[in-house]
Structure 1
């Protein structure tokens, strides 16, 4: 219990300090510098930063904590996204201002010019980011050569959606649009690689219900991501089964097309390890498979590829990273995951495809990390 309290205290202190820095840098670039730290604009700007510093974490706790108050989640998420963009471009503004100073271009006029540029760029990218996140994702097609794949399965189309994160903002119509675009790709198999929702079946089922319309003759497969375990993952596993999807809860299915076969397996997200009966178990997922058949594995986090490659899995499909979602957050993601997006090769000839995700989490924004519906076209390795 003592360790848990210490861990919680460290987390809270870290959040307070990080938010302080995220507000302090824009305050310095956009408020203190251009106003000379005096006057009405300075007082209003400083007050706005202080209010934001208090309100953003409160909104996030009310929205994503036990109250689960959706309006607060929307306000907090939007504010956090805009804050991140403004913070990043304020840092860039500081660098530009320093470079101009070295070049002899100094003074209040220069400081104000940089501040205006930061505001314009931040506003433009925030608007663009909202559009990018809310639109129906574009299709990304990738050809992958699979060792041991039967010639009769050449051209097999595996459509991947992941990280839809249905949450406080109602995206039922978006969900229907995603289904239409998925079906337009003529998939043989559809895999949903986790982080379906944030919230309970009771609150989010209307947004998820359109997924019943996905058409895939060889199967529609679903695994849990870490966010399912923030609520009741088993309820979502049961719900997805009720609308015709096959949950791969540390399990596999052998799909067959005209006598040629392929193993599709799935494992839980590591976050499930603290939940009875959950947690990734790759040996259980692969138990009883024909060793002569190639395996396509759904595993939410790219770093699970270490176990996949050790087991000789031919292809792992993951999400989780969102491609960073809002630039340049992908540099931080890379500290935790071996890959941020795209196709990569790993030990023992295991290939990993990491999707940038179909939706978004938190801030309804994507900046330089577009969402995707992925079509993986499988071919025998020659």
Structure 2
């Protein structure tokens, strides 16, 4: 192939990928919006024509507007108005989609039981609608409240007796975003300080938006108290929103940004290495100097000391195992956030939530997250502020 042919082929490949991506997204959106439309309106309900026409117009309008609102809200400008509408729409449509599929199963059961149409379709429609409304109202309340404290004890074989009982508070995935949550952020800080922590860790995804946009929501993080250390690493969403500026801002709030580095905390004559690595997406973000580097993070650390590692994504546990980490703490999964999305999360991550072991030495704690991303709903995946009490063997 000549140089001219190679240069000509590249735009064709890019166009082909773009077309393929557009077709996949279009198919997903048609399913998300189409299944609820079919179940609630068109399948066999025999609704009056005005009801069917009005419902169809609303569904089609939402389908057509959704991608434009999502792009406008979560594109480079982070426009909060469109983002709120798009995110809320996504949450509502996801819940309706899931329960509309279940409604189709219910329709089949009613048919087998001898219930004639359109009654069986209308019964399924009522059930789906009531369940969806209840779950969305409950899910909104769950998302917007200050998280409950989840208390977990973790035994580390190499932890010295002087550090037995060390109180580590983990927050993650605060996702300060289009919905103003200053009071929520203040409530999170108050809840953390009541726990009298030795170490407080934030494992990334602070915000959706630049520092200038989310400064007020993030400000209460500056009031978090810890007797030994406040530490932070980047998540994948920082790389959509000025990662280096967030690293610098957290440092200005008094947090140690563990940008592929570590520090050592000591108590009672014993010490613990606390290290952090950038998110696994950092290398492809184009932000200079950002990439996950376990070797750099642990360079100069005493190999005899136990290691606590902050890494945003549970899937980064492979690097932790390879480098002899005792405990990795992560977020990212949100516990699935809106059931049953957790099944999709598990396709990408080795853990959804809670404590798990990945080698004779290395354990992983995965938080369900302190905030929420996008849709302001949490269904069967409650948020958490985690109090990890470290125990010597």
Same fold (TM over 0.5): yes
Deviates more, 1:33-42 or 1:230-239: 33-42
C-alpha displacement at 1:45, in angstroms? Answer: 1.0
**For the residues of structure 1 that align with 2:14 and 2:175, how far apart are their CA atoms?**
28
Asked if structure 1 preserves the Cα contact closer than 8 Å seen for 2:45 and 2:119, the reply is no
* Residue 218 of structure 1 pairs with residue 238 of structure 2: no
Instruction: Measure how far apart 1:8 and its partner are.
Output: 3.5
- 1:313 paired to 2:295: no
2:74 is aligned to 64
Q: Deviations over 1:296-343 (max 9, x none)?
A: 000000000011111110000000000000000000000000111000
State the secondary structure of the residue aligned to 1:349: coil
User: Offset of 1:271 from its aligned partner?
Assistant: 1.3
Indicate the residue corresponding to 1:110 in structure 2: 120
Question: In 2, distance between residues paired with 1:107 and 1:34?
Answer: 7
Report the CA distance between 1:113 and its aligned residue.
1.0
Tell me what 2:7 maps to.
Answer: none
Q: Which residue of 1 aligns with 2:61?
A: 51
Indicate if the aligned counterparts of 1:190 and 1:216 stay in contact, CA closer than 8 A. Answer: yes
Q: Does 1:74 align with 2:84?
A: yes
1:157–1:377 CA contact under 8 A, matched in 2 = yes
Which of 373, 377, 380 lines up with 1:361 in the alignment? 373
Tell me how far apart the structure 2 counterparts of residues 99 and 40 of structure 1 sit (CA, whole Å): 29
CA distance in 2, matches of 1:66, 1:267: 26
Distance 1:349 1:333 in 2: 25
Deviation at residue 277 of structure 1 after TM alignment: 0.3
In the alignment, structure 1 residue 276 sits paired with structure 2 residue 288: yes
- Distance between the aligned counterparts of 1:337 and 1:9, measured in 2? 28
Instruction: Tell me the equivalent position of 1:293.
Output: 305
List per-residue Cα deviations over 1:254-273 (Å, max 9, x = no partner). Answer: 00113210000000001110
Which residue of 1 is the match for residue 187 of structure 2?
177
- Any conservation in 2 of the 1:302–1:352 contact (CA below 8 Å)? yes
Deviations 1:218-268 (A, max 9, x none): 100000000000021000000000010000000000001132100000000
Deviation at 1:104?
Answer: 2.3
Is the contact between residue 163 and residue 266 of structure 2 (CA under 8 Å) also seen in structure 1?
no
Separation in structure 1 between the aligned mates of residue 333 and residue 320 of structure 2, nearest angstrom: 18
Distance 1:272 1:7 in 2: 23
Relative to the length of structure 1, the TM-score reads 0.97
Distance 2:51 2:306 in 1: 65
Question: Counterpart in 2 of 1:239?
Answer: 249
Contact 2:313 / 2:331 at 8 angstroms: preserved in 1?
yes
1:141 to 151, 157, 160: 151
The answer for the alignment partner of 1:378 in structure 2 is: 390
* C-alpha distance in structure 2 between counterparts of 1:14 and 1:372, whole Å: 34
- Report if the CA contact (8 A) 1:33-1:112 is conserved: no
Normalising by structure 2, what TM-score? 0.95
**Shift in alpha-carbon separation, 1:249–1:5, aligned structure 2, 3 A:** farther
Q: RMSD of aligned C-alpha atoms?
A: 1.2
The structure 1 segments of at least 4 consecutive aligned residues displaced by more than 4 Å after TM superposition are none
Change in 2 beyond 3 A, CA 1:8/1:88: same
1:17 is displaced (CA, Å) by: 0.8
Answering whether residue 277 of structure 2 is matched by residue 267 of structure 1, we say yes
Once residues 251 and 76 of structure 2 are traced to their aligned partners in structure 1, the CA distance between those partners, rounded to angstroms, is 27
In the alignment, structure 1 segments of 5+ residues that lack a partner are none
CA distance in 2, matches of 1:5, 1:173: 46
8 Å CA contact 2:45, 2:121 repeated in 1: no
Q: 1:262 to 1:4 in 2, by over 3 A?
A: farther
Q: Retained in 1: the 8 A contact 2:91–2:375?
A: yes
Pairwise CA distance, 1:98: 1.1
Q: Kindly state the Cα deviation for residue 38 of structure 1 after the two structures are TM-superposed.
A: 5.9
Unaligned runs of 5+ in 2: 1-9
Aligned residues: 381
CA contact (8 A) 1:189 1:220 kept: yes
Do the aligned residues in 2 keep the contact of 1:191 with 1:220 (CA within 8 Å)? Answer: yes
- Secondary structure class of the residue paired with 1:101: helix
1:26 aligns with 2:18: no
